[in-house]
Amino acid sequence: MPDSDSAPEVIGRASHRSPDAGDILSTDVYAVVFEHMLVGVAYHRMIFSEDVPQDYLYLYANPAFHTQTGLGPVVGKRVSEVIPGIRSSDPQLFEIYGRVAKGGGPEQFETCVEALQRWFAVWVFSPKPEHFVAVFDDITERKRGEIELRDAQERLSLAQRTSRSGVWDYDAVTRKAFWSPEHFGLFGLDPATQQVSMKIWETLLHPEDRQATVAALRDATHKHHPVALEYRIIRPSGEEVWIGGFGNTTRDAQGRPLRALGISIDITARKREELKRIRAERDLRLALRQVEQKERSRSRFLAATSHDLRQPLYAAQLFLNALGSTRLDGQQSNSVKKIQQALTGMASQLQSLLDQSRQEDALVHVLKRDTPTTDLFESMADIYVPIAQQANVRLLLRPGKFVLHTDSNLLSRLLGNLIDNAIKFSPRGTVLVCARRCKGGHLLQVRDNGRGMADLAQGDAFDDIYPIGSGERAANAGYGLGLSIVSALARLLGSKLRVASAPGKGSVFSLVVPG
């Protein structure tokens, strides 16, 4: 019965008491001790039903009990009344307390009492059957710190695994090193069997990197600089891995190192990509040099060939002119005329080759000055009006009255190539050359209603060997070296060149001269 259980009487009983202890172990002395303890103490009687613990009654509770649990008066009350629902929320308490109250030995444990939302370290023993004393201490703050620390360690471990990195720590005073488990894995070592040391780290360094890496580490330490290294290691498995090492050193007041802390990161993937990029850039530079060498060789060949061929071609033209001055019948005159056209076309192509080689060898110098459009167009008329008449093409020149700030020689060559092409591919047609003002300068155009060109969307018309015209081509048409030169001359003059064309409808070449 509850009233037969007296806390002082039970707690004060001692099975082993010294004969000369006197009143030191008296009931009052025990009561004073329990009342002033900083840990909670509570005396209970367990209530069983069919040998199963169902509830327990509070017989005594010291002041610290109330401080640590936050509960009010409990003596004479059952725990189910003080903390409703505790049997279902914290069944481990009933299991342990029941086992001790039934005669089991003392037990010690840590538990979170869900009903109170607190952690406790508990020591429990039984002074007599069906009774137990619980001594406990609130360790909630400590447990929260442990949980936060464990969570932080788990997050750090996850971050290290995800980033393929590991943490290292070196105590310069004790000369002891610490590696995180992830750091061991990074270097291919087993933390269960391998002792970590600076010697082990140096042993794993790639032979080609060892001396420079160790020297760089010592230099950073000596100069009080943060550590930032990139080096290779060879794992025990033989695998080569790139490591990025970063860290810093704390020192005492005299500047002596106390502790070095840092992180190592697997940067193998990045270094491999860097090496691929370096190799690709090297191969590209080599390929470009080879292309440039081939282009220079081609230009020299074109220049030499065109120069050497111009001499016999010039001689052939002289002989043909002499032949033309003799008395010839109609058929012979027609043959001479066709030969002259063929030689003229050949001479034009050779001149184009020579011009192109000069441009590629950067032998063309731009000399800009004020040039009236009337003068420019007059020089065009002197050259191309006779050619147009011979080809039965109507050539119209509309210079306007403008002044262009440009290199007149280069611009004349540019327009001359466009006019020459327009005449060639506009049989019995019309070619219009005109100038007018536009935004940003002056617009020069060469228009024709000739054959036109296809496939201009990709700019093929300005390639070196683009075949001008469609269908049947004139005997002296050749390939579009003239347009390639036009494009190059436009770039030299800083002008914008555009073309619009359609097969059977003709072409319009537009050039904007700045200023």
CA distance 349 to 246: 66
Same domain, 175 and 251: yes
Residue 68: inside a domain: yes
Where is pLDDT greater, at 318 or 345?
Answer: 318
317 closest CA partner among 290, 350, 342: 342
10 and 120, same structural domain? Answer: yes
Confidence band of 250 (pLDDT split at 50, 70, 90): confident
Do 227 and 211 belong together in one domain?
yes
What is the rounded CA–CA span in Å between residue 179 and residue 195? Answer: 10
Give a yes or no: residue 284 inside a domain: no
Q: Specify whether the CB–CB gap between 110 and 139 falls below 8 A.
A: yes
510 and 374 share one domain: yes
Angle of CA points 105, 107, 108, to nearest 5°: 165
User: Does residue 429 fall inside a structural domain?
Assistant: yes
Residues 388 and 485 in one domain: yes
- Evaluate if pTM is beyond 0.85: no
Q: How far are the Cα atoms of 87, 149, 241, 273 from residue 270, in angstroms, in the given order? A: 58, 33, 11, 5
What's the total number of domains in the chain? 4
Instruction: Let me know if residue 48 belongs to a domain.
Output: yes
Residues 332 and 252 in one domain: no
CATH number of the domain within which 259 lies: 3.30.450.20
Per-residue pLDDT reduced to its tens digit, 4-47:
444 433 343 333 333 333 333 345 666 677 888 899 999 999 99
Residues 150, 201, 277, CA angle at the centre, nearest 5°?
Answer: 95
Token representation of residue 196: 């970590």
Note the pLDDT tens digit of each residue in 181-197. 888 888 999 888 888 87
Mean of the pLDDT values across residues 237-248? 90
Find the domain containing 480 and state its range: 365-514
Q: Give the rounded percent of residues in the chain with a pLDDT score beyond 70.
A: 77
3-state class (DSSP) for residue 290: helix
